[in-house]
């Protein structure tokens, strides 16, 4: 945590008083985790790992194995940071919860990934409306050890700082890109379709649904198409976008987005479940079980 030496205030939480730093980061109060907290971690960790063999992409599984997370106990950020420092130079910083957009982008632009320090309750194993430690650590951190993906995340943060200065419509476009890649992305591997999005790998139901259900669309990644597309925050996604590799993602997002934002400003948003004429459709969803309203 060398980047955040300045302690500015303290925050009272149900785990006690934790220091809050100027960048919105907190020290992981590791000693205060209860037996229940460690048990929730173990349950989720074992359940997802069993499910993700053959479902998560090779890069996710390999990096998770080598970064030293295990079911035994909630990982210490300091230990994961040692592994990250040796590979891609990313750093985990603890946070209380969601950060203001610009603060979040600035962390990513500096290769710092904010991780919520608290973990969900035993009765919340299957669904939680805000990110917790399990989602952030288990879902996001393994791919930060993958060099190309690690660079993508930093480039995204820099792009976020830029979009924030351009305006709210640009931010909406950029947020959709994060949603459909970092959170809910699928990737085509030599031996089949796999998951890389953190929102999927940290969810039992969506790990199965995203790959195996007939309901959702699965469409080849196209930058501007993704940036126009609304998404779901309260149900499984109606559409997943599929990349062929992290290099493709990196190359597609390398150009300056400024003219793209200008172009997209004149175009209507695409509803989450819609299939468009130019789409590379891998699977057209049956739409079974789709809620009618509620795209954001």
**Active-site positions?**
135, 140, 183, 202
| Sign for the pseudo-dihedral over CA of 119, 149, 244, 253 | positive
Region of 99-107, 188-196, 237-245, 252-260 interacting with ligand PHE (CB under 6 A): 252-260
104 contacts ligand PHE (rule: CB under 6 A): no
Options 234, 256, 266, 288; binder of ligand PHE; rule CB under 6 A: 256
Between CA 156 and CA 106 the distance in angstroms is 10
Helix, strand, coil percentages in the chain from 3-state DSSP, rounded to 5:
45, 15, 40
From 26-34, 137-145, 254-262, 277-285, span contacting ligand PHE (CB under 6 A): 254-262
- Pairwise CA distance, residues 209 & 204, whole Å: 9
Nearer to ligand PHE, 69 or 171 (CB): 171
Q: What is the DSSP string of 178-223?
A: HIIIIIT-EEEETTEEEE--HHHHT-HHHHHHHHH-SSSEEEE--H
Q: Which stretch binds Fe ion (CB under 5 A): 32-40, 83-91, 191-199, 269-277?
A: 191-199
Residue 148 contacts residue 247 (beta carbons within 8 Å): yes
Binding mask 168-207 for ligand PHE (x = CB under 6 A): ---------x------------------------------
- Of 255 and 287, nearer to ligand PHE (C-beta) is 255
Nearer to ligand PHE, 156 or 180 (CB): 156
Residue 98: helix, strand or coil by DSSP?
A: coil
CA 55 from chain centre, in angstroms, equals 17
Q: Tell me which of Fe ion, ligand PHE, none is bound by residue 123, counting a contact when its beta carbon lies within the kind-specific cut-off of 5 to 8 angstroms.
A: none
Q: Which residues contact 34 (CB under 8 A, 6 or more apart)?
A: none
Residue with tokens 């007939």: 214
Query: In degrees to the nearest 10, what's the CA dihedral of 145, 101, 162, 87?
Result: -10
The single residue among 85, 254, 262, 276 that binds ligand PHE, judged by CB under 6 A, is 254
Smallest gap from residue 247 Cβ to ligand PHE (A): 13
- Provide, rounded to whole angstroms, the least separation between the CB of residue 192 and Fe ion: 24
| 162 lines the binding site for ligand PHE (CB under 6 A) | yes
Q: Which stretch binds Fe ion (CB under 5 A): 25-33, 87-95, 104-112, 190-198?
A: 190-198
Please give the angle made by the CA atoms of 249, 136 and 80, to the nearest 5 degrees: 95
Residue 257 interacts with ligand PHE (CB under 6 A): yes or no: yes
Could you tell me the smallest distance in angstroms from the CB atom of residue 40 to ligand PHE? 33
Closest CB to ligand PHE among residues 84, 170: 170
Residue spans of beta strands (DSSP E) within the chain: 7-13, 16-21, 25-26, 91-95, 112-116, 186-189, 192-195, 217-220, 239-243, 281-283
105 binds ligand PHE (CB under 6 A): no
Task: Please give the structure tokens belonging to residue 70.
Answer: 């295990």
Q: Which residue is nearest to Fe ion (CB)?
A: 198
d(CA 252, CA 272): 21
In the bound state with ligand PHE, the residue whose beta carbon lies nearer, of 86 and 169, is 169
List residues near ligand PHE by CB under 6 A: 152, 155-156, 159, 162, 177, 253-257
């Amino acid at each position: 945590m060398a980047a955040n030496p300045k302690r500015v205030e303290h925050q009272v939480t149900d785990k006690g008083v934790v220091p809050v730093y100027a960048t919105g980061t907190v020290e992981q109060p590791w000693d205060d985790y209860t037996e229940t907290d460690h048990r929730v971690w173990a349950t989720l960790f074992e359940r997802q790992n069993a499910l993700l063999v053959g479902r998560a992409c090779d890069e996710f599984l390999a990096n998770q194995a080598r970064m030293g997370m295990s079911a035994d106990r909630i990982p210490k950020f300091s230990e994961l940071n040692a592994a990250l420092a040796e590979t891609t130079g990313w750093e985990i910083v603890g946070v209380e919860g969601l950060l203001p957009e610009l603060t979040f982008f600035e962390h990513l632009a500096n290769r710092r990934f904010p991780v919520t320090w608290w973990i969900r309750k035993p009765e919340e194993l299957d669904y939680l409306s805000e990110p917790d430690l399990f989602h952030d650590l288990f879902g996001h951190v393994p791919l930060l050890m993958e060099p190309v993906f690690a660079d993508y995340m930093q480039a995204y943060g820099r792009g976020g700082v830029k979009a924030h200065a351009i305006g709210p419509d640009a931010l909406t476009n950029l947020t959709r890109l994060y949603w459909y890649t970092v959170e809910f992305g699928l990737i085509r591997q030599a031996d089949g379709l796999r998951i890389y999005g953190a929102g999927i790998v940290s969810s039992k139901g969506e790990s199965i649904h995203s790959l195996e259900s007939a309901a959702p669309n699965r469409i080849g990644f196209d930058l501007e198409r993704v940036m126009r597309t609304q998404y779901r925050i309260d149900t499984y996604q109606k559409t997943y976008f599929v990349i062929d590799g992290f290099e493709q993602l990196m190359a597609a997002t390398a150009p300056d987005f400024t003219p793209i934002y200008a172009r997209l400003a004149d175009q209507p948003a695409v509803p989450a479940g819609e299939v468009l004429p130019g789409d590379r459709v891998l699977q057209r969803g049956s739409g079974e079980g789709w809620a009618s309203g509620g795209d954001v």
